[in-house]
Structure 1
Amino acid sequence: MSVFTPVSRPELETFLAPYELGRLLDFQGIAAGTENSNFFVSLEKGEFVLTLIERGPAEDLPFFIDLLDVLHDADMPVPYAVRDRDGHGLRQLCGKPALLQPRLAGKHVKAPNNQHCAQVGELLAHIHLATRERIIERRTDRGLDWMLSAGAELLPGLDAEQSGLLRSALQEIEAHKAQILALPRANLHADLFRDNVMFEGTHLSGLIDFYNACSGPMLYDIAITLNDWCLDADGGIDLPHAQALLGAYAGLRPFTAAEAELWPVMLRVGCVRFWLSRLIAARDFAGMDVTIHDPREFEVRLAQRQHVALKLPIAL
């Protein structure tokens, strides 16, 4: 179970009292997370998710609260920080920063179809459009510089084939770094995987886990999303799924020529980011009762992205 900080019932009841949401009926740890401690919390007045922030500086937390308020106010199906009786959305529990958020309805989709992918593309475009004119700045702690340094540190522990694949990708990131950072920007989810989206039937009902959110190139967010939602059985790109996602996105926020040029590079960058973070998690949490996603998934996807036939839809 991915609960790094256990919480007792008395501790939780004391923490929840200022929210005035009724008695605590039940709570349980959520096994899916890999970076924070999350709990489902049932109260008399509703269902909620409690998150204890385990990673990242505390000074970044107002960013997450502000971003989710912006997206919630724009009628997007996102969680937001519930305020206590004194108006505080960010509090402390067990010595960790803690947020209480409404639990969104729906279930994760393991095998998405074209319609699912189109709705994900639309939602991503709405996030970018809602923030690109007034970006809430936050530099990701897992950006290009981190990839270059973490990749160099991990290279000696890889076999010859893996190191060749990663070394080539790191050289490409170094060569295109300035161009990538010059792409059109907005606020990004930066972790829009299938296990962070909920559907009720065929209707997208929720987007969760914004703790990797940041400001940066919109194309990076799209690449991360497509690399998880639009896969064939071998880790390559499922073209109908990808075209549905990109077409729905471009219908709301057209792509630029610079984005089209860097698209294959950005797909590879998205793979590198999660290959490295999963390698680090596998190393640091080995033997612990923590969910660890398989690093090889993104190693395979990076290998598959060496030649990209999929192009961005550009209006001529």
Structure 2
Amino acid sequence: MSVFTPVSRPELETFLAPYELGRLLDFQGIAAGTENSNFFVSLEKGEFVLTLIERGPAEDLPFFIDLLDVLHDADMPVPYAVRDRDGHGLRQLCGKPALLQPRLSGKHVKAPNNQHCAQVGELLAHIHLATRERIIERRTDRGLDWMLSAGAELLPGLDAEQSGLLRSALQEIEAHKAQILALPRANLHADLFRDNVMFEGTHLSGLIDFYNACSGPMLYDIAITLNDWCLDADGGIDLPHAQALLDAYAGLRPFTAAEAELWPVMLRVGCVRFWLSRLIAARDFAGMDVTIHDPREFEVRLAQRQHVALKLPIAL
């Protein structure tokens, strides 16, 4: 189970009392997390998710609270920090920064169809449109510089085929770094995988886990999303799914010529980011009772993205 910091019932009851949400009925750890400790919490006045922040500097946490408030105020189906009786959304539990958020309804979709992908594309566009004029700045700790340094560190431990694939990708990142950073920007979710989106039937009902959110190129967010939502059986791009996602997004926020030019590069960058982070997690948490996603999934996807036929829809 991916609960890095265990919480006892008395500790949790003391923590929850200032929220005045009634008696604690039940709580349980959530196994799906890979970086923070998460718990489902049932109270007399509703269902909530408690997150103990395990990674990243505490000074970044007001960013997450502010961003989610902006998106919640824009009527997007996102969680937000519940305030206690004194108006505090960020508190401490077991020595860790802690947030209590409403639990959103719905279930994750393992095998998305075109309609699912289109709704995800629309939601991503709404996030970008809601923030691009007033970006809340936060530099990601898993950005291009991190990829270059972490990749160089991991190269010696890879086999010849893997190291060739990664080395080529790192050289491409270095060559296009300035162009990527000059692309149109907004606030990004930066981790919009299938297990972070919920549906009720065919209706998108919730988007969760904003702890990788940052400011940066909107195209990067789209590449990360498409790399998980629009896959064929071999890790390649499912073109109908991808076209549905991109068309829905472009209907709200048209792509630029610079984005179209860098699109294949950005798809590869998105693969590199998660290949490296999963390799590090597999190394650091080996033998621990922690959910570790298979690094090879993104190694395969990076290999598949060496030749990209899919183009961005550009208005003529």
User: Structure 2 CA distance, aligned partners of 1:136 and 1:16?
Assistant: 29
State the shift of 1:308 in Å.
0.0
Shift of 1:298: 0.0
What residue is the counterpart of 1:23 in the other structure? 23
- Structure 2: distance between partners of 1:47 and 1:240: 37
The question of 1:92 aligning with 2:92 is answered yes
Shift of 1:50: 0.0
- Residue of structure 2 in register with 1:105 after alignment: 105
Structure 1 residue 220: Cα displacement = 0.0
- TM-score, length-normalised on structure 2? 1.00
Q: Does the residue aligned with 1:38 lie in a helix, a strand or coil?
A: strand
Q: 1:135: Cα distance to partner?
A: 0.0
Cα distance in structure 2, aligned partners of 1:267 and 1:202? 27
Q: What is the TM-score when the length of structure 1 is the normalising length?
A: 1.00
User: Is 1:127 the equivalent of 2:119?
Assistant: no
Q: Distance in 1 between matches of 2:180 and 2:266?
A: 8
How far off is 1:311 after superposition?
A: 0.0
Q: What SS class does the counterpart of residue 128 from structure 1 fall into? A: helix
TM-superposed deviation, 1:281: 0.1
Post-superposition offset of 1:288: 0.1
Deviation of 1:44 (Å): 0.1
CA-to-aligned-CA distance 1:105-143 (integer Å, 9 cap, x gap): 000000000000000000000000000000000000000
Counterpart-to-counterpart distance in 1, 2:195 and 2:33: 10
d(CA) in 1 for partners of 2:142, 2:29:
26
- Structure 2 residue ranges without an equivalent (≥5): none
Q: Find the residue that maps to 2:82 and give its secondary structure.
A: coil
Cα deviation for residue 282 of structure 1 reads 0.1
> What SS does the corresponding residue of 2:79 show, helix, strand or coil?
coil
For residues 122 and 241 of structure 2, what CA distance do their matches in structure 1 show? 13
Following superposition, the deviation at residue 205 of structure 1 comes to: 0.1
CA distance in 2 between partners of 1:84 and 1:288 (Å): 34
Instruction: Encode CA deviations 1:57-96: one digit per residue, 9 max, x unaligned.
Output: 0000000000000000000000000000000000000000
RMSD after superposition = 0.1
2-structure distance, mates of 1:253, 1:193: 21
Cα deviation for residue 271 of structure 1 reads: 0.0
- Residue segments in structure 1 that go unaligned for 5+ positions in a row: none
Residue 236 of structure 2: aligned partner = 236
**1:9-63, CA deviations, whole angstroms, 9 ceiling, x for partnerless residues?**
0000000000000000000000000000000000000000000000000000000
Q: CA–CA distance in 1 between the matches of 2:289 and 2:177? A: 37
How far off its partner does 1:237 sit? 0.0
Tell me how far apart the structure 2 counterparts of residues 60 and 34 of structure 1 sit (CA, whole Å).
19
Equivalent-residue separation in structure 2 for 1:242 and 1:67 (angstroms): 27
Counterpart in the other structure of 2:255: 255
The SS at the match of 2:204 is strand
| Residue of structure 2 equivalent to 1:224 | 224
- 1:175 Cα deviation (Å)? 0.1
Q: Distance in 2 between matches of 1:161 and 1:24?
A: 53
Identity between Structure 1 and Structure 2 (%):
99
Q: Secondary structure at the match of 1:22?
A: coil
Runs ≥4 residues deviating over 4 A: none
Shift of residue 300, structure 1, vs aligned partner: 0.1
Task: Indicate the SS of the match to 2:123.
Answer: helix
* Structure 2 counterpart of 1:175: 175
Q: Secondary structure at the match of 1:205?
A: strand
- 1:157 Cα deviation after fit: 0.1
Aligned mates of 1:24, 1:303 — CA distance in 2: 49
Which deviations, in whole Å up to 9, do the C-alpha atoms of 1:248-279 show, x marking residues without a partner?
00000000000000000000000000000000
Q: CA offsets, 1:275-315, max 9 Å, x none? A: 00000000000000000000000000000000000000000
